[in-house]
Structure 1
Amino acid sequence: MTEDDIYAEFRNAEALLEGHFKLSSGRHSAIYLQCARVLMNTDRAGRLARALVQKIPRELRAEIRAVVSPAMGGVIIGQEVARSLDRDAMFLERPEGTFELRRGFRLTEGQKVLVVEDVVTTGLSSKEAMEAVRKAGGEVVALAALVDRTGGEASFDVPFYPLLELNFPTYAEDELPEELAALPVEKPGSRKA
């Protein structure tokens, strides 16, 4: 799947949005990719997951024993990546503000885990998710995401495999350009900021 094919999937799903958006990181952007919308079609979600899995080296794919994703955004793509790898999928929740496995999900000590996200913006949630996997006994072997919005600013202690890298500018609340500040703010993500 080429980058143009991936953008076409987002456009066809009406998931490439323009306006004024407050991201889960607290930063603002004129562009937003609504991953939940692109993933609502199961065939499309499967195609994107298979393309994402192909980004991961074959040897590393062979090591993965489970896929873990943070709820809410990572659940669907995590499930589809796990299906593509023929592995179990689990998700993390934040019942008390920090990620943890619940609902009977558990990892065995040293179990090799792929953490899958929908969008990585600052990398903070991804790092928190990986730490939760480690606390649960898993060994994180890689991080994968549909979209990397870090602009190269985030670094991880495992290999990172995004399907698409977006480098649209983001802004702090006090540095908004006039044309963006003039638009009403939308908060399309799953977390309140």
Structure 2
Amino acid sequence: MTDDEILAEFRAADALLHGHFLLSSGRHSEYYLQCARVLMDTERAGRLAVALAGKLPRDLRHAIDLVVSPAMGGVIIGHEMGRALGKPAIFVERPTGTFELRRGFEIEKGAKVLMVEDVVTTGLSSREAMDAVRAAGGEVLAEVALVDRSAGSVDLGVPFYPLVAINFPTYAPDELPGHLADTPAVKPGSRSQAA
């Protein structure tokens, strides 16, 4: 899929939002990609996962034992990546603020893991989820994401393969442009912000 075809999928799902958004990273943006909306159509989710799997080098695809994604945002695309790669897919979640395995999920010692995210901005959630995988005995080989919002600056410590890079500007709370500073921010994601 080309970048234009990928963005057309987001537009068709009304998943490219415009306004004033407070991202889970704590930064502000005038645009927000609601991946849950683009993934609610199972055919579309499957197409995007197949395209994302196609970004991986062939040798890496064959080395993967397990797909892991962080809840909540990565669960659907993680599941679809598992299907596209023919590998089991599980997720980590943070009921007390730190990612952990629950629901009977286990990672065999030495298992080769592909981390799957919906959107990466700063990479903090990804790195924290990788820490949980490593603590459980897995080896993270790489990460994929539907969207890279980091402007190419994210360092995850492993190879990173986004489906598309979208570089909408983001702002720290003290650097908001006037048109955003004058409107209340909406928190559209699944994770609430700490005060």
Q: Calculate the TM-score normalised by the size of structure 2.
A: 0.97
Aligned pairs, number: 193
The one-letter code matched in structure 1 to 2:107 is L
Instruction: Provide the C-alpha distance between the structure 1 equivalents of 2:156 and 2:94, rounded to a whole number of angstroms.
Output: 21
Q: Which residue of 1 aligns with 2:48?
A: 48
- For residue 84 of structure 2, give the secondary structure of its aligned residue in structure 1: helix
Instruction: Provide the C-alpha distance between the structure 2 equivalents of 1:156 and 1:2, rounded to a whole number of angstroms.
Output: 24
- Unmatched 5+ stretches in structure 2: none
Residues 66-77 of structure 1 aligned to structure 2 (within 5 Å): 66-77=66-77
- For residue 67 of structure 1, give the secondary structure of its aligned residue in structure 2: strand
- For residue 25 of structure 1, give the secondary structure of its aligned residue in structure 2: coil
Q: Which residue of 1 aligns with 2:115?
A: 115
Instruction: Provide the C-alpha distance between the structure 1 equivalents of 2:157 and 2:21, rounded to a whole number of angstroms.
Output: 30
Runs of 4+ in 1 over 6 A off after TM superposition: none
Residues 1-193 of structure 1 aligned to structure 2 (within 5 Å): 1-193=1-193
- For residue 137 of structure 1, give the secondary structure of its aligned residue in structure 2: coil
**Deviations for 1:13-43, whole angstroms, at most 9, x for unmatched residues?**
0000010000000100001000000000000
Instruction: Provide the C-alpha distance between the structure 2 equivalents of 1:59 and 1:21, rounded to a whole number of angstroms.
Output: 39
RMSD across aligned C-alpha pairs, in angstroms?
0.7
Greater CA deviation, 177-186 or 140-149?
177-186
- Unmatched 5+ stretches in structure 1: none
Percent of aligned pairs with the same amino acid: 68
- For residue 89 of structure 2, give the secondary structure of its aligned residue in structure 1: strand
